[in-house]
Amino acid sequence: KNQVEQSPQSLIILEGKNCTLQCNYTVSPFSNLRWYKQDTGRGPVSLTIMTFSENTKSNGRYTATLDADTKQSSLHITASQLSDSASYICVVSANTGFQKLVFGTGTRLLVSP
């Protein structure tokens, strides 16, 4: 069964601190892995997208890693800001002819002043 699991479920950090969010997946056949940021009451917005051959991808203060052998990914946020408070969703795309996106339930991050 295709699944994406994220941890932790929620996280509170102080402004300026770093944090790492985890994603484990069992999706086959694998096409790519994406991280999305979803602000409260808004649609998800893409942060990164990585294919099988990519280990690391950065987008400003966001750095995603992918280990396709262990089927794990992480999203590292550096020098957190209050605006980073949001849900972060790991999404794995299955290459089934049609791009099937399998969504994790997200990690809810709160950055506290």
Contacts to another protein by CB under 8 A: 4, 31-32, 34, 41-46, 49, 89, 93, 95, 98-106
- Identity of the residue, 63 or 106, whose beta carbon is nearer to another protein in the bound complex: 106
- Give the residue from 23, 43, 41, 48 showing the smallest Cα distance to 106: 23
Least gap, CB of 36 to another protein (angstroms): 8
Least gap, CB of 81 to another protein (angstroms): 22
- Identity of the residue, 81 or 99, whose beta carbon is nearer to another protein in the bound complex: 99
Least gap, CB of 16 to another protein (angstroms): 29
Helix (H, G, I), strand (E, B) or coil at 82: helix
Least gap, CB of 45 to another protein (angstroms): 7
Using alpha carbons, list the distances in angstroms from residue 36 to 1, 59, 61, 97, 113.
Answer: 22, 12, 14, 23, 23
Rounded to whole angstroms, the Cα distance separating 43 from 86 reads 11
Rounded to whole angstroms, the Cα distance separating 7 from 105 reads 9
- Identity of the residue, 9 or 113, whose beta carbon is nearer to another protein in the bound complex: 9
